[in-house]
Amino acid sequence: MKKKLYFGRLKSRQISLIRELNFKKFIKNKKIGNLNHKKKLILEIGIGMGENLIYLSKKNTQSKIIGVDPFKNGMVNVSDYCINNKVKNIYLYPYVFQKFFVKFKNLRFNKIYILFPDPWPKKRHQKRRIIDEDFLRKIIKILKKNGKVFFSTDNIGYFENVKTIIKKISKIKIKRIRRVVTIKTKYYCKAEKKGNRINSLVFFHS
C-alpha cells in the first residue's frame, strides 16, 4: 500500500479563478527544471503562507529560492506577490517534498529551511511528522558540501527527536542557535502568542 505523505489541508480559503490562472501561468514560466547546481540555491520545505520565502528572496537577490508545499493558498499568495512586485528569483513546487526529491534529485542547495513543521503532538499522530531519519538523509544528500540546514520548532519533543536523529548520522555537525532564523511567519507568531519557547538549530557536513 502507498504510504500517505501529507496530512494537512490543501486549501483553507476559496481562491478566485483569476488568481488560480495567474498561479498556473507563474508555475509554467518558472521551471525548476531549468535550474542547476552551479546556481546559488535555497530551498524551503513547508512554506505555509510564504512569509519566510519572500523574506529570503529579498535577502538573497543573487540566489534562486524554491518553495515546496502542497498548501495551495500559500503558493498562490507567493505567486501573487511575485507577479505584483516583479520578483524573479522565486520558484514554486506545489506538491510534497518527497515528490520534489524524486523529481529534482540532482539539484544541490546552499541553504535549506524547515520552519515550524506540523508538530503532530499526540503520540498516535507522531508518525505523520515530516522529519524522520529518512527525510534527514534525503536533505543531507541534496545539501552542498558547504551548505547549511536550518530548523525551528516550538515543540520541544520534536526538537529533541530531530537532534537525536541528526547525531546518529555520521559526518554531520549540529549547532544549536539562539537566534531564530526567520522573520515572524504565521506559525512563529502562533508560538509566540502561546508563550512557547522556540528552539532552532543548524546542521551541515563536517
Ligand X SMILES: C[S@@+](CC[C@H](N)C(=O)[O-])C[C@H]1O[C@@H](n2cnc3c(N)ncnc32)[C@H](O)[C@@H]1O
> Which position among 45, 140, 142, 149 is part of the footprint of ligand X (CB under 6 A)?
45
**97 counts as binding ligand X under rule CB under 6 A:** yes
Residue pair 148/204 in contact by the 8 Å Cβ criterion? yes
By beta-carbon proximity to ligand X, the closer residue of 51 and 147 is: 51
CA dihedral in degrees (71, 73, 77, 78; nearest 10)? Answer: 10
Q: Which stretch binds ligand X (CB under 6 A): 26-34, 95-103, 163-171, 173-181?
A: 95-103
CB of 206 to ligand X, least distance (A): 27
**21 counts as binding ligand X under rule CB under 6 A:** no
Segment 69 to 88, residues that bind ligand X, using CB under 6 A: 69-71, 74
> Which position among 77, 89, 155, 185 is part of the footprint of ligand X (CB under 6 A)?
185
> Which position among 26, 116, 158, 159 is part of the footprint of ligand X (CB under 6 A)?
116
**90 counts as binding ligand X under rule CB under 6 A:** no
**32 counts as binding ligand X under rule CB under 6 A:** no
Build a one-symbol-per-residue string for 141-170: x at contacts with ligand X by CB under 6 A, - elsewhere.
------------------------------
Please give, one letter per residue, the 3-state secondary structure of the chain.
CCCCCCCCCCCCCCCCHHHHHHHHHHHHHCCHHHCCCCCCEEEEECCCCCHHHHHHHHHCCCCEEEEECCCHHHHHHHHHHHHHHCCCCEEEECCCHHHHHHHCCCCCEEEEEEECCCCCCCHHHHHHCCCCHHHHHHHHHCEEEEEEEEEEECCHHHHHHHHHHHHHCCCEEEEEECCCCCCCCHHHHHHHHHCCCCEEEEEEEC
State the distance between the two ends of the chain, measured CA to CA, in whole angstroms.
38
**46 counts as binding ligand X under rule CB under 6 A:** yes
Q: Which stretch binds ligand X (CB under 6 A): 3-11, 30-38, 84-92, 136-144?
A: 3-11
Number of residues that bind ligand X (CB under 6 A): 24
CB of 38 to ligand X, least distance (A): 25
Tell me the catalytic residues.
Answer: 118
